[in-house]
Amino acid sequence: MRIVVVSDSHGATGRLSTILMAAEQAGPIDAILHLGDGYWDLRELDTDLPPVYQVAGNCDLGHSDTLDYVTLSGARILLTHGHFKHVKEGTDDLLETAMEEKCQAALYGHTHCQKMEWRNGILLLNPGPAQGGAYALLNINRSGAIDPELCRL
């Protein structure tokens, strides 16, 4: 399963479209994860999209779903924008929640900095700001193992 992960698009729908086209050049996309601050941006694209899973960010007024969980190809993944998990101060709170919820990955945005690390066997990943051309790809095999990649246009 190939998954595109974006965050912080902040209305840059043209940039999102370019990201999706770049990701599709390497193969089909099975899902898109949007981690907030651009809650409606993917819906404004004039293309057929694979399934989209998203959470709201601190700039997505009127939305309260700032944390969610999805299971894709056997991998349980925490989705959050990160502002309520205080990711600008570090990822300890995020890691603790991911461990409590038995997640293989915790994905977040908010800091506008691409970052990928493995802690306690859990992937902590920020795809960076889509507004600036940053995104991530997750390849998940049938047993739920995640192979992540940070990308930039």
What average pLDDT does the segment 75-104 reach?
Answer: 96
Phi, psi (deg, nearest 5) at residue 66: -95, 0
Query: CA-to-CA distance for 121 and 117, rounded, in angstroms?
Result: 10
CB 151 within 8 A of CB 134: yes
Confidence grade of residue 61 (pLDDT, cut at 50, 70, 90): confident
Where in the sequence is the domain holding 26, given as residue range(s)?
A: 2-152
**Domain count across the chain:** 1
pLDDT in tens, 94-132: 999 999 999 999 999 999 999 999 999 999 999 999 999
CATH number of the domain bearing residue 71: 3.60.21.10
Q: Residue 1's pLDDT is what?
A: 97
With a cut of 90, say whether residue 47 has pLDDT above it.
no
Query: CA-to-CA distance for 145 and 134, rounded, in angstroms?
Result: 23
